[in-house]
């Protein structure tokens, strides 16, 4: 099993969610995060003049999937989240040791679905 952590633009959530759902991948966890990449933030306007905001709001998606689905999930997120401009985000892929379903106590791959 793999954990896919994807940092994406806030406005791309619906596109990514929809694209994943079309391929039958429904479950995911979303959190609001702030971060910075190479572009070091964005200038916003203050009371007078510009202020640099160096942490930008992004969304972090966390998806746990079977090994065989991993590349499809990553490709789907990439395609749906891409604008081509700096700030589209990054995807991290981590190994998952085990999964436990709290309600039943089931472990391993069966606890995923």
Partner 1 sequence: MSVNSGDTAWILVSSALVMLMTPGLALFYGGMVRRKNVIHTIMMSFAVLALVSLLWVLYGYSLGFGPDVGNIIGNLEFVGLSGVGLAPSGYASTVPHLAFMMFQAMFAIITVALITGAVVERIKFSALLVFGALWMTLIYAPVAHWVWGGGWLGNLGILDFAGGTVVHINAGVSALALVMLLRSRKGFLKVPMEPHNTPMVMLGAALLWFGWFGFNAGSSLAADGLAANAFAATNTAAAAAAFTWILLSWRQRRPTLIGAATGAVAGLVAITPAAGFVIPIAGIPIGIGAAVVCYYALLFMKTKLHFDDSLDVFAVHGVGGIFGALATGIFAAASLTDGGLLTGNGMQFLKQVVGVVAVGGFAFVGSWLIGKLVDVTIGLRVSETEETVGLDISEHSERAYGGF
The span from the CA of 48 to the CA of 51, in Å, is 9
Task: Decide if residue 106 touches partner 1 (CB under 8 A).
Answer: no
Task: Decide if residue 34 touches partner 1 (CB under 8 A).
Answer: yes
Structure tokens at 73: 């999930």
- Per CB under 8 A, the segment of 19-27, 40-48, 74-82, 92-100 that binds partner 1 is 40-48
Residue 50 β-bridge partners: 45
- Per CB under 8 A, the segment of 10-18, 21-29, 60-68, 92-100 that binds partner 1 is 10-18
Task: Decide if residue 26 touches partner 1 (CB under 8 A).
Answer: no
- Per CB under 8 A, the segment of 41-49, 64-72, 88-96, 100-108 that binds partner 1 is 41-49
Cα-Cα end-to-end distance for the chain: 12
Task: Decide if residue 55 touches partner 1 (CB under 8 A).
Answer: yes
Structure tokens at 83: 């604008």
DSSP H helical segments within the chain, as ranges?
13-22, 70-81
With contact defined as beta carbons under 8 Å apart, do 11 and 94 qualify? no
* Residues engaged in binding partner 1 (CB under 8 A): 10-11, 14, 34, 43-45, 53, 55, 83
């Amino acid at each position: 099993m793999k954990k896919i952590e994807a940092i994406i633009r806030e406005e791309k959530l619906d596109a990514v969610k929809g694209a994943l759902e079309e391929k039958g991948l429904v479950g995911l966890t979303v959190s609001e995060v702030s971060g910075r990449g190479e572009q070091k933030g964005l200038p916003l306007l203050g009371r007078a003049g510009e202020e640099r905001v160096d942490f930008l709001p992004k969304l972090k998606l966390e998806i746990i999937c079977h090994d065989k689905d991993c590349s499809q999930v990553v490709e789907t997120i990439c395609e749906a989240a891409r604008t081509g401009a700096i700030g589209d985000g990054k995807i991290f892929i981590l190994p998952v040791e085990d999964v436990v379903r709290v309600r039943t106590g089931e472990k391993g791959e069966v606890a995923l679905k």
